[in-house]
Amino acid sequence: MIKKEMIAMLLAGGQGSRLGVLTSNMAKPAVAFGGKYRIIDFPLSNCINSGVDTVGVLTQYQPLRLNTHIGIGIPWDLDRNIGGVTVLPPYEKIGNTEWYTGTANAIYQNLAYMESYNPEYVLILSGDHIYKMDYEVMLDFHKANNAEVTIAVMPVSMEEASRFGIIIADDNRKITDFEEKPEHPRSNLASMGIYIFNWKTLKESLLAMADQPGLDFGKHVIPYCHERNMPLYAYEFNGYWKDVGTLNSYWEANMELIDIVPEFNLYEEYWKIYTKSDILPPQYISSHSVIEKAIIGEGSDIRGKVYNSVIGCGVTIGEGTVVRDSIIMNNTVIGDGCEINKAIIAEQAVIKDHVRMGIGEEAPSELNPGIYNHGIVTIAEGSLIPENIVIGKNTVISGQTEVADYENGYLASGKSLLKAGEK
Amino acid sequence: MRAIGIILAGGNNHRMKELSKKRAVCAMPIAGSYRSIDFALSSMSNSHIGKVGVLTQYNARSLNEHLSSSKWWDFGRKQGGLYVFTPAITSENSFWYRGTADAIYQNLNFLKSSHEPYVVIASGDGVYKLDYNKVLEYHIEKKADITVVCCDQTSDMEVERFGTVKMNEECRIEEFEEKPLLAKTQTVSCGIYVIRRRQLIEMIEQCAREERYDFVRDILIRYKDVKKIYGYKIKSYWRNVASVEDYFKTNMDFLKPEIRDYFFKQYPDVYSKVDDLPPAKYNVGSQVRNSLIASGCVINGTVEDSVIFKKAFIGSNCYIKNSIILNDVYIGDNTHIENCIVESRDTIRANTYHKGEDGIKIVMERNDRFMM
């Protein structure tokens, strides 16, 4: 058997509840991003581009979309005779069967998987960030410092620092202390949730800490290693890294892709991002359409006007429809004469003719102002909106709605209409 | 399935002019994201033919690259698969393929070692969708020795570059002329044949003994009065792309909604190799009307009534009209292109003017590319 120097464990079980209805049927890593991709494509592509060809993907929350997307790993060249991608869901055991109760607990429950490869190093990743990173460079840093654990960190502004786990390191990047979401941060190096462990260290720590409820890397395992004076190092990363945890940051990250030369460039030959894509024809742009500042996926049929938007694959936009500042995901159909302003419309939704959304004054969401804000209209996967409906800002719609569901054909700003469970 | 497939993909054609310098006709890009051989391969796959041999000879680099994996057409199975046969020197034979029949003869073991009773032979330069099972059923029903798929061309089409066919009322082929000087009918052979495997082996071996090498001339035409050769007419869309004019027209056909609907929306699908390309990007100043845009393109200028293939870059203030821009072309700012086919991997300098005055102009420019 070919010895694997480093294998990756990709945590993809989280719900990502701050993405609202986008994650009601799928885990956050499976959410579509940038027209044709899904969030998990970024860490998976990073793995194969960094020469890491053995990846365990830990799933728990709504794994179906993730499973079908990953398959046997063909799009990322992760269909290997030895290694490749393995989906690792929680499983029943003799005694002590439990869900994955924390990030480190999930890894602990899959010690046997890692043991079967017996690597030198284990890379721990999370499946919910947008970035391009060469893990091999991080590994070189890890080896050069004779570290037992290396944590990838990123400089953030001091104001933001209190939202992150903060790492305090000396001039040689050796970690001296850390703080979880401190009020008065002593450093601006935020942990990115990317770790390289020596396999022996990881195994020993996980076994020692096994009984800790909700075993978590940041809260338990890293402090455990630190207490025992193991050499911990901080690897500073300065590229593009975006947490798309909230609807607004998700919307912003998508919009950044359509800048003339985006900071995060998908068009470089070097460091390609791979995704499972269907075999689709090119997109058709009709004689009456106008497109300005947009990216559009394969197989779409555009007859209307698209400004400043990210359009997925196989999307239909009808005649006379105007789409502005919006994200439209795969296979959604929008009828004629619609007006779409600052909306996130998930996959396979159907918007009938003359629907207008993102209209009127902003009002805080009555459902959850912490999730639905910044005036974004959110339409869940597979929703249907009948003709001539007018929809306000900060609104949410999910399910097959009918005219009768709307008061006078109008959904005011801040309102929500959830008809889940009817399909 | 009851048949194996053979795709004749060897050909070059002087009617393709400069376009054939880079590739065989079968590897010509079609409709933004396909190659012409995809249509035959997809039809084979959709007809549940699991074992397909592709016979190729002329400049096969581009074709081989396209066929580097058989998984896109679902031929990557334990049973059957996709086989690419290029000419090889053996102890008995050191010739190139001297014709289509010779190409099959040199790979006769492929036929002999199969067990399926029938063979579907198709040329790789047609754009169509066809259920070969229907042809096979017809073949069996007619008790035919060979069935030739035919198609009526409209009277304004020049058919002199095809094989023309005349059938009697029972659809038996009475006359078959290969590339006639003056065609007597508008019915042409599509280059798709169904034949019993043992019958084919016998005929090919006989041909080889007589030092005859061409399937059409030395089998179809020579045997037409001895063997029962029937025609099967298709009414659906069929085009051959082996001339610059037809290649251009076929691509432009895909701007029509009914053609796109037929190929892309209706069952069955057409498959092709998937590239890892980002979505197409439209920057400020782009104006696109009635065009097909493939993935990976970056558009800054105006595009009208055109087909833009994968990964093309169109500079600011460009005007592209009624043209085909093949894969990975870079077009500098302020360039005018009208009635042209721009060869793949070209780099067109800024501020240039290309226009096909009478007919289609083929643009081949090998400038250095400084970009990104």
pLDDT-based confidence at A420, cuts 50/70/90? Answer: low
Would you state the pLDDT for residue B20?
Answer: 85
Tell me whether residues A311 and B372 touch, CB distance under 8 A: no
Would you state the pLDDT for residue A158?
Answer: 87
CA distance linking residue A10 with residue A23, whole number of Å: 18
Instruction: Give tens-digit pLDDT for A306-351.
Output: 999 999 999 999 999 999 999 999 999 999 999 999 999 999 999 9
Instruction: Give tens-digit pLDDT for B284-296.
Output: 999 999 999 999 9
Q: What is the mean pLDDT of residues A253-271?
A: 87
Residue A293: its chain B contacts at CB < 8 A? 282-284
**Three-class secondary structure assignment of chain A:** CCCCCEEEEEECCCCCHHHHHHHCCCCHHHCEECCCEECCHHHHHHHHHCCCCEEEEECCCCCHHHHHHHCCCHHHCCCCCCCEEEEECCCCCCCCCCCCCCHHHHHHCCHHHHHHHCCCEEEEEECCEEECCCHHHHHHHHHHCCCCEEEEEEECCCCHHHHCEEEEECCCCEEEEEEECCCCCCCCEEEEEEEEEEHHHHHHHHHHCCCCCCCCHHHHHHHHHHHCCCCEEEEECCCCEEECCCHHHHHHHHHHCCCCCCCCCCCCCCCCCCCCCCCCCCEEECCCCEEEEEEECCCCEECCEEEEEEECCCCEECCCCEEECCEECCCCEECCCCEEECEEECCCCEECCCCEECCCCCCCCCCCCCCCCCCCEEECCCCEECCCCEECCCCEEECECCHHHCECCEECCCCEEECCCCC
Cα A318 versus chain centre, distance: 30
A35 touches chain B (CB under 8 A): yes
Tell me whether residues B279 and A267 touch, CB distance under 8 A: no
Residue B73: its chain A contacts at CB < 8 A? none
Chain B residue closest to A301 (CA)?
Answer: B292
In this structure, are residues A371 and A247 in contact, taking their beta carbons and an 8 Å threshold? yes
pLDDT-based confidence at B10, cuts 50/70/90? Answer: confident
**Is B372 a residue whose pLDDT tops 80?**
no
Question: B233 to chain A nearest CA, in Å?
Answer: 28
**Domains observed in chain B:** 3-265 (3.90.550.10), 281-363 (2.160.10.10)
Chain A residue closest to B313 (CA)?
Answer: A267
Tell me whether residues B290 and A311 touch, CB distance under 8 A: no
Q: What is the mean pLDDT of residues B291-305?
A: 96
- Checking DSSP bridges between strand B163-167 and strand B229-234, what pairing results, if any? unpaired
Q: What is the mean pLDDT of residues A371-392?
A: 95
Would you state the pLDDT for residue A278?
Answer: 85
Would you state the pLDDT for residue B92?
Answer: 82
Residue numbers of A between 287 and 316 with CB closer than 8 Å to B: 287-299, 306, 311-313
Mean confidence (pLDDT) of chain A = 93
Instruction: Give tens-digit pLDDT for B18-50.
Output: 898 888 899 999 999 999 999 999 999 999 999
Lowest mean pLDDT among A50-54, A228-232, B12-16, B318-322: B12-16
Would you state the pLDDT for residue B275?
Answer: 87
Would you state the pLDDT for residue B370?
Answer: 67
**Is A16 a residue whose pLDDT tops 60?**
yes
Chain B residue closest to A260 (CA)?
Answer: B283
Interface probe, candidates A33, A274, A283, chain B, greatest B C-beta count within 10 A: A283
Tell me whether residues B276 and A34 touch, CB distance under 8 A: no
**Is B156 a residue whose pLDDT tops 50?**
yes
The H or E element spanning position B240 is strand B238-240
Would you state the pLDDT for residue A160?
Answer: 83
The beta-carbon neighbor of B293 closest among A75, A285, A306 is A285
Tell me whether residues B278 and A287 touch, CB distance under 8 A: no
Percentage of chain B surpassing pLDDT 70? 99
Residue numbers of A between 49 and 78 with CB closer than 8 Å to B: 74-75
A283 touches chain B (CB under 8 A): yes
Tell me whether residues A287 and B289 touch, CB distance under 8 A: yes
Residue B264: its chain A contacts at CB < 8 A? 281, 299
Chain B residue closest to A292 (CA)?
Answer: B284
| Stronger pLDDT, B14 or A175, i.e. the higher one | A175
The model's pTM is 0.91
Q: What is the mean pLDDT of residues A233-257?
A: 93
Residue A272: its chain B contacts at CB < 8 A? 276
Tell me whether residues A286 and B289 touch, CB distance under 8 A: yes
Question: A184 to chain B nearest CA, in Å?
Answer: 42
Tell me whether residues A267 and B271 touch, CB distance under 8 A: no
Instruction: Give tens-digit pLDDT for B338-369.
Output: 999 999 999 999 999 999 998 999 999 888 87
**Is A28 a residue whose pLDDT tops 50?**
yes
Percentage of chain A surpassing pLDDT 90? 85
Instruction: Give tens-digit pLDDT for A38-85.
Output: 999 999 999 999 999 999 999 999 999 999 999 999 999 999 999 999
Q: What is the mean pLDDT of residues A156-163?
A: 85
pLDDT-based confidence at B91, cuts 50/70/90? Answer: confident
In this structure, are residues B355 and B340 in contact, taking their beta carbons and an 8 Å threshold? yes
Interface probe, candidates B283, B311, B371, chain A, greatest A C-beta count within 10 A: B283
Question: B325 to chain A nearest CA, in Å?
Answer: 13
CA distance linking residue A235 with residue A5, whole number of Å: 19
pLDDT-based confidence at B103, cuts 50/70/90? Answer: very high
Would you state the pLDDT for residue A422?
Answer: 46
Question: B75 to chain A nearest CA, in Å?
Answer: 15
Would you state the pLDDT for residue A423?
Answer: 42
Residue numbers of A between 230 and 269 with CB closer than 8 Å to B: 258, 260, 266-268
CA distance linking residue A326 with residue A318, whole number of Å: 15
pLDDT-based confidence at B371, cuts 50/70/90? Answer: low
Instruction: Give tens-digit pLDDT for A178-224.
Output: 888 888 889 999 999 999 999 999 999 999 999 999 999 999 999 99
In this structure, are residues A235 and A150 in contact, taking their beta carbons and an 8 Å threshold? yes
**Is B1 a residue whose pLDDT tops 70?**
no
Question: A313 to chain B nearest CA, in Å?
Answer: 8
Q: What is the mean pLDDT of residues A147-159?
A: 93
Tell me whether residues B279 and A311 touch, CB distance under 8 A: yes
CA distance linking residue A190 with residue A166, whole number of Å: 5
Tell me whether residues B278 and A266 touch, CB distance under 8 A: yes
Tell me whether residues A296 and B279 touch, CB distance under 8 A: yes
Residue B287: its chain A contacts at CB < 8 A? 290
Tell me whether residues B289 and A297 touch, CB distance under 8 A: no
Mean confidence (pLDDT) of chain B = 93
Residue B271: its chain A contacts at CB < 8 A? 279
The beta-carbon neighbor of A272 closest among B34, B276, B281 is B276
